[in-house]
A and B are shown apart, each in its own frame.
Chain A
Amino acid sequence: MEIPYIVNARKDTGLFNSKIAIWLFLASEVMLFGGFFSAYVFLRLGADYPWPERTLPVLPGLINTFVLIGSSVTVVFAWAALKLRNWRQFQIYMSITVLCALLFMVLKGVEYNVKLHHQAVRLSDYSVVEGHLGYEKKGDDYVLDHNGKKIEENMIRLQLEEGGTTTFSVLRFHADWVEEILMEADSAKAELKLLADIKGDESNSDAGKVYFAAGTPLSIDLLKEIKKVHLIARAHNAELRTNALRQEWVVAKAENPGKKDWEISDQVSIDTTALSPRLLTEMSTATFATSKSFELIFKPRDVKEGAEQSRLRDDTTIKGKLLASPMVFHNVDAIDFQHLVMKADEKGIDPETAIQNSWLMQNNPFVREAWAWHEEGVAALTKRLTEEYGLDEKGEPNREPTHKELYRIGWKDLAKFGEERHQISLSATDSLKEEFMGPNYEARGEETFPHLSVPREEIGFASKFAPAWNTYYAIYFTMTGLHGLHVIGGALVLAYYLFFGRKMYLENPEWLANRVEVGGLFWHFVDLVWIFVFPILYLM
């Protein structure tokens, strides 16, 4: 069957059909992206933290803008080449378009990668530290997890004393963690044994029956065995209870003819004491005690830690001491008091006092030095702005340093601080690389980007620069991610025309030209969205 109106226009619309289709699709896209832009405005106006202004690297964003604009031109040239029946030229322009899309995605990938490996932590006093964490080492070797990956120096350490107990949920226990606990115990030559007999309850039909004897050593198989017995008991009991309840309803209905169910529902209840001699004992947890003291480490997201008792995500309760579990930055690359000042303002505290009293200023000599240096810079900036832009009629300066300039020491500031103090200078290539990859720790060294160990109790919230960090990064990843998916989708379609279009070109060149026009329309739209995304997310 021939597809109608792919080359010739329909009389009523004056257009070939696929053009109507793509415009309908683009109309829906306008509303989709419009929704995200309005979400951005909403989040920004409602943010209860200092919105990160101009926080993304401008140079990669700028290059990406050029790349997309350039590809918009080449795609329209590719279409023109088809219209003029010049296959060779079409190939050239379309190849450039697809390469531009690739370049865009590579730059975007680098940007994402840098963000997703960059750590941020908000301390409990709302000062913010940014940088990179170190990795756990034993001697000179890195400690690897079971995937063979290095473990960040951001672990919760627990000490299980002799006789200390670990209680597993037999339904929810995560076998990998049980294995880890067993391994740690093994390396300390400790044994985990069942604390007490798991036996039938006195009131139940299995009264006194010992299912699992105290002293049985912990193993995943044992937990699975307990789980099996537990599930059998549950199924058995559930059936008994359901039958009993059903019986109750039959009786209640017979006694109250003509009444609605909800009117008699409070008369219906199971007599549990009568039922219990027929029930089996359910054993949802199993508790093990250790013969010797040993240490356990867990990722912060896997454990809710407490001084005496911690709970893993699989509901395992560990009764052990919380050891010092600092988060160790090997390179701090920004110190930010904006949020702290915002909170101080809300409480009517003088910002300078709040900063001086912050944990960082109280405990870290580097931060004190950097802050003193920063304040000199702010004073100089304030002076220069007043001199250059003068005062208004009320005697207030026309221009003042921004909140960010006042209270944030970003990586470029720290780099400058290091350059001034230690006469560090970078080669032009290294400096350019920094614009894409962020601060260069190797070249600038620890005197510029120092170590910092943050005690666990000082941590308010920690995250990579991922959607979880704040609503800015959430909307940034959502919008650029969605846009990136459009780039990939568009590039795939255009590449299809490039690599598989020859046959159609020979049979029906006008059809291919129309297809490319439609693909091009989508591509221009992707460019159009970026024209708004770039200034809004990168420059505002």
Chain B
Amino acid sequence: MAHSSELTTAQEIQKSKKVYLAVFGALLVGTVVTVLVATVEALDVGKHGFDKWDAVLGLFIATVKASLVAYIFMHLNHEKKAVYWIFFSALLLCASMFGILFLAKYSPIFDKFFY
């Protein structure tokens, strides 16, 4: 019987459950760290209060957490090619659309010397 995932035997599944629990722990720790760096003054990066470095750090932690979810829980660590094609092309398109946002800065609408 062919399965999409490599988790075919009972043994492998039992083993993977341990990995899931480890990821669960990592996600909880990541969440707590996110809140702590945002609320505890001693752990505040950059200037006092929210600034771009807080955004960078917060989004970095979120990206790590999201990658863990996608990689382990969503089985992207052992998927077939078709899934990677579908998912990553969407992600790439999304990221490039995001990039267009930064062109907004150079638009005449936002140029204060324009009007």
Contact = CB atoms under 8 A, between A and B. Distances in A.
Interface residues of B, number: 54
A331 to B, nearest CB: 26
A371 interface: no
Contacts of B7: 80, 83
B17 A80 contact: yes
Name the residue among A24, A404, A535 with the largest chain B CB count within 10 angstroms: A535
A23 B2 CA distance: 19
Contacts of B5: 517
Contact of A42 (B55, B59, B69, B104): B104
B21 A73 contact: yes
A105 B34 CA distance: 22
Interface string B49-73: 1100011001101100110011001
Report whether over half of chain B's contact residues are helix, strand or loop; otherwise say mixed.
Answer: helix
Contacts of B43: none
A69 B31 contact: yes
Nearest to A523: B73
A69 to B, nearest CB: 5
A534 B62 CA distance: 9
Nearest to B46: A399
B77 interface: no
Interface string B11-53: 0011011001101100110010011001100000001111000
A66 B31 contact: yes
Name the residue among B13, B55, B73, B95 with the largest chain A CB count within 10 angstroms: B73
Contacts of B97: 31, 34-35, 38
A413 B65 CA distance: 34
A80 B16 contact: yes
Contacts of B4: 9, 14-16, 19
Name the residue among A14, A385, A525 with the largest chain B CB count within 10 angstroms: A14
A394 to B, nearest CB: 15
B87 interface: yes
A251 interface: no
Interface of B: 1-5, 7, 10, 13-14, 16-17, 20-21, 23-24, 27-28, 31, 34-35, 38-39, 47-50, 54-55, 58-59, 61-62, 65-66, 69-70, 73-74, 80-83, 86-87, 89-91, 93-95, 97-98, 101, 104
